[in-house]
Structure 1
Amino acid sequence: MILSQTVLVLLGMLLAAWTLAAGWAIVMARVRQQRAEAGQRSMRRLARMIDESPALPLLVRADGRIEAPQRLANWLGLETVPQFLTELDTGDKGLTAEQLAELTTEVRRTQKTAAPFRMVATPRGSRRSLALRGHLADPHVSPGGAALVWVFDFSDSESELVKLRAEAARARGDFSALVSLIEAAPMPMWFRGHDGRLRLVNSAYVAAVAGKNAESVVEKGTELVEAVDGLTAAQVALQAAQQKLPIERMVHATIDGARRALRVSDLPLIDDGIAGYAIDVEDLEELGREFKAFRDAQRSMLDQLSAGVAQFDHKRQLTFANQPFQRLFALTPAHVLNPPPFERLLDIARDAGRVPEARDYQAWRREKADWFAASEAQEEAWPLGDGTHVRIVAQPMPDGGLVLVAEDRTEQLRLSAVRDTLLRTRTATFDSLFESIAVFAPDGRMQLWNRRFAADWGLDSDFLDTHPHIEDLLKRIAARLMRPPQAKGVGNVVRAATLDRKQTGGRVHLADGRTLEFAGVPLPDGNGLLTVLDITDSQKAEEALRERNAALVEADAVKTRFLANMSYEFRTPLTSIGGFAELLQAGLGGGLSDTGQEYVTAILASVERLGEQIESVLDLSQSEAGILPLAREEIDLMPFVTRLVEEREPRIRRAELALDLRGNKATAGRISGDPRRLGRALGHLLDNAIQATPGGGRILVELSRHKVKGQDWARVVISDNGPGMDAAMLARALGGLKVSADGKAVERRQGLGLPLARQLVEAHGGTLELLSEPGQGTAAIVELP
């Protein structure tokens, strides 16, 4: 029982172990199965991946056998994968003989030396490009020194590579051309890095900064442009890079020792850096300054014109209007500051009444706007409502603009009308003259004449209407002259006036007894004027006047001899009478009674008085005859007048008058004159004042000086407070002795004192003025230079 139990236990344990072993075996088999299935799946996946991969393996064994997937045969254009490497060339498909030979050589070298290789092959009849990369196969893959060649289909990549190579070649060519272009560019060009430092400059840049070469300029960082407003050229370039916008500015730089204006541009090149270039615009700036100066000068000149000028640009906008145009079209300063377009300008002028009235204004305005497209200048006359006549000239410009010229011709039309009137007036005036006239052109043809000309020369109007030549005219004139050859003198006068521009004259006698005097006068227009005057009557009157003049000359000689004889004949008896009276008074003829003495004294007083009258008559006669002699010398006026007053002091006292002498030597000054005759003139004025002033009256004598037209004159005023005179009495007092109207007798006036005083003062170059009113007295004002 015990054994049986042991056996049973053993059997159970054996069965349990067997069961465990069977379960273990089943589990392990299951695991191996799963591993096998996973391996198969992995193999299938790897095979599929190899089939789908862009690279296919080609295993070349040492004996020349090959293993490869079917896809490689398809790439090579073969139906199946051959067994040996040499079968890859079938003659019409597969690799070419050269490619196969190269592949075979490379494979054998790799099998022997384990050196990898690369090559490119293109199967026959295919555009497929295959890249072969070979190396020694791993012993686990194929023992015995097989070569594993990976085949890549890079047809697309090859196209891209070809394209890229072509583009790269083109880019290299373009870059080389661009570099050459930049290097040959006449303007400075440069390239900066992201830090703003120069990395590339062209030869123009090097020449502009006077550098040695581009490398030294880049190394030194020599800048072409100076700092402006504290910003260097590198800082401005960095600003352009930060803003990712190009910056263009106008700066000045010194190039070849001269300041030049440059337009500098900095262009950010995204991530590559900043490019820059500088264009020399100094010539443009100078041209702009010259153009601005020319435009300003032109506009200043246009402002001085009398005609209005306005300029419009291609947009029909007013760009300039001179002052006459502004006045003519009533433009305000606001219109000048904000220039209107052409159509708006017409509207403004229409509102101001400065355009002509039009039935359809809109159509009229459109018609004027077509001036901009016209091929030639347009000219119109605009009559305005206020009577103004304006001439308009519209000149289209090549740039599409327009120049409008407006000329106010109102005055010209008025002058034209006045000219027509003057021409008609001249014709009527010529025909009304007593003097005959004719106008000849430089070619000798008659242009104008009056009716008197035809009458004086006895010419037919029909002949003159043909405007005859001077030669034809002379033939007609010669037939009417007393001496026909004298007609040539008329032609010479006309020729001198028209061609020589000289004024000459002459005189001819007609066969009918008349005498004509003619003269040629050059006219400003180049013509010559021939004036003819009938002097027959004047010749007769001249002869009569010549005879009468001879008689007058003889009478003047008689008068001169009479004055000389009268001076002798009057003074000699008077001197004898005075001498005998003085002898009687001295007692040489015996003693005289008291009555006799009174008679002698009266005779002497009368002799003295008569002597003065004779002197006055002689001086007055000589003065009126113009032969009064003057002995001029310098006279101190104040002592001179004082002496005259002192000589009349007894008479003043007897008349119980008061005389006031005002002035001094400094204020009276000196004059140039004849003391004797000037003393007689002032003495007569004093005597008249003494005689005209009643007892107890007052006489004022005042000496002074004053300016007359810048010249220093002396003034002597002698006034009294006597009864005065009215205008008639004053005229008679100044008259004195005068020759009668028939020249044969002498009229006596109111004494000789005042007339003689006036004659003597005027003989000294001075003036005498008498002022008098009844009851107010009389004042005599003498002014002497």
Structure 2
Amino acid sequence: MTLSETALVLIGLLLAAWTLGAGWLMLSARTAMRRAEGGRKAARRMARMIDEAPAIPMLVRADGRIEAPQRLAAWLGLEAVPGYLSELDAGDAGIEAGQLAELAEAVRVAQKTATPFRMAVTPRGSRRSLAMRGYLVDSQVAPGGAALVWVFDFSESEAELAELRAEAAHARDEFVALVGLIEAAPIPMWFRGPDARLRLVNSAYVRAVGASDPGSVIDHQIELIEAVDGLTAAQVADQARVRNKAIARDVSATIDGQRRTQRVSDMPLGEEGVAGYAIDVEELEEQDRALRAFRDAQRSMLDLLSVGVAQFDGKRRLAFANGPFLRIFALKPAMLIDAPDFEQWLAMARDNERLPELRDFPEWRREHVQWFAAGEPREEAWPLRDGTHLRIIAQPMPDGGLVLIAEDQTEHLALSATRDTLLRTRTATFDSLFESLAVFAPDGRMQIWNRRFAADWGLEEEFLDRHPRVEGLLEKIAVHLLQPEQIEAISGVVRAATLDRKQTNGEVALADGRILEFAGVPLPDGNGLLTVLDVTASRKAEEALRERNIALEEADAVKTRFLANMSYEFRTPLTSIGGFAELLESGIAGELSPQAREYVDGILSSVEKLGDQIETVLDLTQSEAGLLPLALEEVDMMPFVTKLVREREQRILDGGLSLNLRGNQAAGKVQADRRRLGRALGHILDNAITATPSGGRILIDVSPGKQGMQVVVSDNGEGMTVNQLAHALDGYRIAADGKGVVRRQGLGLPLAKQLIEAHGGRLELMSQKGVGTTATIILP
């Protein structure tokens, strides 16, 4: 059977529609599956978020059934979430019955009236604290009047809250204690509000202002501090609040009727106000004034010291230096205006060459900076380049400062060296003396002795080294005395020198025949000096001299008698010879032949010369013996000297000499023995004529001088050496055998010297070999 085309078309259309519908259904199903999968993912995400949330939801339905995550069971200490609310109390875990009943009632009220609630529960056997917040849930979540309870774990918050409560309670206790402390404080304290008005004062404040109670002070705003420079205490406190900076000042206030200095401090406390307190510093001010006065007096006193003193403060800066310190270290007073620190001062002293020679100055300076931290004083010796020796003492101070004392010991050391030298010299001198010495203290103890002392008394050095007392010493000496009882004389001399301060002496004889003479001399230092001298030899020499003196006196008597008779014994034969020769010359014995007359002339000439020689010898011997007789008369010197020159005129001409006599008739007169003075001047003039060669010249000057009449005889002859001049005035000297005499020079000059000295004058000779000789006669 053949279907028509219409039927085929309809069938095709039906099949096409059925295919389109199947495709639409497939697309719709796929879309629904995607949405379901997204919902499932969202539900899992929401469930995960709820599990991770700090709060756990618990749905309580109208019949008491509950729905909640497993985490709630862990919080409550249960193994699993129960099915009903009443099963949350498991006996040994879960919520306690009382809290569970309270929770059930709150849930019922919320389901019926939609009233939310809050409560806190603590599961059994747990320290966990749970907070529950419940309210009526939306019907879309759970129809039929269910309640949703959010459970929060606020254990940490509860602990913090408990801690805060404890801290608050502690703060209240501390506040009460602080208020009590402020109230009991002995100094005025107060508190001002942001408006700078007084709000709180303590009892000390009330007593200071003389009020009856704190309320009256606050009501009347009674201020402790008066206005200063136009600013009241409230205005100053307001400035401290505005600046947010504490203000401290010293002002005067009347306290109990007395004006006293108060140190007032205003301390801002943020927006709360300003706290203040006042401390009585009147005693501190007095102490500070006393300290300043003491410091000024101390520094004035230090300026009077001869040692240098400097003070460095706790910051190691130079606070004070007296005048000697500035002089010792060559510093200027202006340096104290900008005071250097310790290291800078050392550098300045080094620049002024007032420090010792140093190899490593920085290291040396670092070591000396440690003086400030030293626990005890330090002392050093600083030898400077110019020979100055400084003694440095560094005394650390409690405030961290340092007192430096510099003492110039140059003179002290020099005196010490001199003293040591003197002591050594004294010891050496004592030991080298021929007399023995010992020094005793006032208590009788021996202090110093020399070696001779031990030798004279026969004492041992070891015994003397123990510085024995005088009693023990005398016991040792007594055994050496010829008469031991004489030891009391020595004891008395020592006692008189040390205690009575008198000088006494004595003498003792030793058993060995020696004689010791001793004396006690008081010394300026209170000690006594005992000197002992061995006079044995001197006593023997004294006896010998005494015997010799007797012999000399006898010899002198013989000499006197000899000189008395010499003039007669010498002159009588000579006069007889001269007289007979003159008779022969006159022809009384007949006419003489020429040869006989020549012999007679020789005899007369010899008699004249012998007579002069006898006169010279007599004058010389009488002068030496002090027996020269002088017939004094007034002698005019210029004519007298002129006559002497005229008598020697022929000799001067024969010798080819020139003579210059200077002076005038008014030269002056002297009291003298004309014959013997002429003899003295004649001998001097004869020596000048003899010593001057032909062609030479002689100068004679007669003039008055300051010391008397002066006669100068000068020639340009051969002169004398120094040795010859030294012995020119010696006539005779004792021979080497000690028995005879030896002629040293002619008798002219020695006789002239003695004759001039017999007149009270003197003869001076000056001579130079090859130049000449000058003789100066000075007569009073």
TM-score, normalization by structure 1: 0.52
- Structure 1 residue 445: Cα displacement: 1.8
Q: Which amino acid aligns with 1:500?
A: D
1:348 counterpart residue number: 348
- Worse overlay, 613-622 or 454-463: 454-463
Q: Which amino acid aligns with 2:756?
A: V
2:149 counterpart residue number: none
Q: Deviations over 1:678-719 (max 9, x none)?
A: 22111112223344556665433223466xxxx545543334
1:646/1:431 Cα in 2 relative to 1: closer, same or farther (>3 Å)?
closer
Aligned partner of 1:769 among 765, 768, 772: 765
Alignment of 1:283-302 (within 5 A): none
1:351/1:686 Cα in 2 relative to 1: closer, same or farther (>3 Å)?
closer
1:447 counterpart residue number: 447
Q: Deviations over 1:491-513 (max 9, x none)?
A: 11111221233332221112232
2:126 counterpart residue number: none
SS at match of 1:676: helix
- Structure 1 residue 460: Cα displacement: 4.6
Aligned partner of 1:755 among 750, 753, 757: 750
Q: How many angstroms apart in 2 are the aligned matches of 1:454 and 1:691?
A: 66
- Structure 1 residue 616: Cα displacement: 1.0
Is residue 538 of structure 1 aligned with residue 538 of structure 2? Answer: yes
- Structure 1 residue 621: Cα displacement: 2.0
Q: Deviations over 1:623-677 (max 9, x none)?
A: 33444455566654323312222333354456565432122355x5555654432
1:485/1:335 Cα in 2 relative to 1: closer, same or farther (>3 Å)?
same
SS at match of 1:640: helix
Q: How many angstroms apart in 2 are the aligned matches of 1:318 and 1:541?
A: 78
Q: Which amino acid aligns with 2:742?
A: E
1:334/1:637 Cα in 2 relative to 1: closer, same or farther (>3 Å)?
farther
Q: How many angstroms apart in 1 are the aligned matches of 2:428 and 2:773?
A: 58
Q: Deviations over 1:140-192 (max 9, x none)?
A: xxxxxxxxxxxxxxxxxxxxxxxxxx99xx9xxx9xxxxxxxxxxxxxxxxxx
Q: How many angstroms apart in 1 are the aligned matches of 2:669 and 2:342?
A: 81
Q: Conserved in 2, the CA contact under 8 Å of 1:761 and 1:768? A: no
1:686 counterpart residue number: 685
1:590/1:541 Cα in 2 relative to 1: closer, same or farther (>3 Å)?
closer
Is residue 664 of structure 1 aligned with residue 664 of structure 2? Answer: yes
Q: How many angstroms apart in 2 are the aligned matches of 1:679 and 1:300?
A: 81
Q: Conserved in 2, the CA contact under 8 Å of 1:440 and 1:529? A: yes
Q: Which amino acid aligns with 1:573?
A: P
Alignment of 1:33-432 (within 5 A): 305=306, 307-308=307-308, 321-322=322-323, 324-331=324-331, 335=335, 340=340, 344-352=344-352, 354-355=354-355, 366-367=369-370, 380-384=379-383, 386=385, 389-392=389-392, 405-413=405-413, 415-416=415-416, 419=419, 423=423, 430=430
- Structure 1 residue 489: Cα displacement: 0.7
Q: Which amino acid aligns with 1:641?
A: V
Q: How many angstroms apart in 2 are the aligned matches of 1:765 and 1:349?
A: 71
2:643 counterpart residue number: 643
1:461/1:717 Cα in 2 relative to 1: closer, same or farther (>3 Å)?
closer
Q: How many angstroms apart in 2 are the aligned matches of 1:701 and 1:297?
A: 79
Q: Which amino acid aligns with 1:438?
A: A
Q: Deviations over 1:126-148 (max 9, x none)?
A: xxxxxxxxxxxxxxxxxxxxxxx
Q: Which amino acid aligns with 2:748?
A: G
SS at match of 2:521: strand
Q: Conserved in 2, the CA contact under 8 Å of 1:715 and 1:783? A: yes
- Structure 1 residue 619: Cα displacement: 1.8
1:731/1:410 Cα in 2 relative to 1: closer, same or farther (>3 Å)?
closer
Q: Conserved in 1, the CA contact under 8 Å of 2:299 and 2:322? A: no
- Structure 1 residue 752: Cα displacement: 1.9
Q: Which amino acid aligns with 1:640?
A: F
Q: Deviations over 1:486-540 (max 9, x none)?
A: 1111011111221233332221112232222222222232211222233333333
Is residue 561 of structure 1 aligned with residue 561 of structure 2? Answer: yes
1:744 counterpart residue number: 739
SS at match of 1:331: coil
SS at match of 1:617: helix
Q: Conserved in 2, the CA contact under 8 Å of 1:720 and 1:777? A: yes
- Structure 1 residue 343: Cα displacement: 5.4
Q: Conserved in 2, the CA contact under 8 Å of 1:355 and 1:382? A: no
Q: Conserved in 2, the CA contact under 8 Å of 1:480 and 1:511? A: yes
Q: Conserved in 2, the CA contact under 8 Å of 1:767 and 1:784? A: no
Q: Which amino acid aligns with 2:701?
A: E
1:609/1:426 Cα in 2 relative to 1: closer, same or farther (>3 Å)?
closer
1:365/1:681 Cα in 2 relative to 1: closer, same or farther (>3 Å)?
same
Alignment of 1:23-42 (within 5 A): none
Q: How many angstroms apart in 2 are the aligned matches of 1:528 and 1:694?
A: 71
Alignment of 1:498-537 (within 5 A): 498-537=498-537
Q: Conserved in 1, the CA contact under 8 Å of 2:371 and 2:378? A: no
The sequence identity of aligned pairs, in percent, is 63
Q: How many angstroms apart in 2 are the aligned matches of 1:784 and 1:438?
A: 54
SS at match of 1:391: strand
Q: Which amino acid aligns with 2:528?
A: G
Q: Which amino acid aligns with 1:547?
A: E
2:166 counterpart residue number: none
- Structure 1 residue 772: Cα displacement: 5.6
1:339/1:615 Cα in 2 relative to 1: closer, same or farther (>3 Å)?
farther
SS at match of 1:480: coil
Aligned partner of 2:712 among 708, 717, 720: 717
Q: How many angstroms apart in 2 are the aligned matches of 1:687 and 1:528?
A: 65
Q: Conserved in 2, the CA contact under 8 Å of 1:318 and 1:341? A: no
TM-score, normalization by structure 2: 0.52
Q: How many angstroms apart in 1 are the aligned matches of 2:663 and 2:639?
A: 10
Q: How many angstroms apart in 2 are the aligned matches of 1:475 and 1:582?
A: 90
Q: How many angstroms apart in 1 are the aligned matches of 2:684 and 2:442?
A: 69
- Structure 1 residue 353: Cα displacement: 5.0
Q: Conserved in 2, the CA contact under 8 Å of 1:343 and 1:369? A: no
Q: Conserved in 1, the CA contact under 8 Å of 2:329 and 2:354? A: yes
1:641/1:438 Cα in 2 relative to 1: closer, same or farther (>3 Å)?
same
Q: Deviations over 1:15-36 (max 9, x none)?
A: xxxxxxxxxxxxxxxxxxxxxx
Q: How many angstroms apart in 2 are the aligned matches of 1:606 and 1:769?
A: 32
Q: How many angstroms apart in 2 are the aligned matches of 1:452 and 1:729?
A: 45
SS at match of 1:701: strand
Q: Conserved in 2, the CA contact under 8 Å of 1:438 and 1:448? A: yes
1:594/1:313 Cα in 2 relative to 1: closer, same or farther (>3 Å)?
farther
SS at match of 1:759: helix
Q: Deviations over 1:585-617 (max 9, x none)?
A: 667x56654757666555444433322211211
Give the CA RMSD over aligned residues.
4.8
Q: How many angstroms apart in 2 are the aligned matches of 1:678 and 1:399?
A: 98
Q: Deviations over 1:258-288 (max 9, x none)?
A: xxxxxxxxxxxxxxxxxxxxxxxxxxxxxxx
Q: How many angstroms apart in 2 are the aligned matches of 1:460 and 1:766?
A: 59
Alignment of 1:559-708 (within 5 A): 559-579=559-579, 581=581, 589=588, 592-593=591-592, 595=594, 602-630=602-630, 635-652=635-652, 657-665=657-665, 668-670=667-669, 673-693=672-692, 698-704=697-703
1:494 counterpart residue number: 494
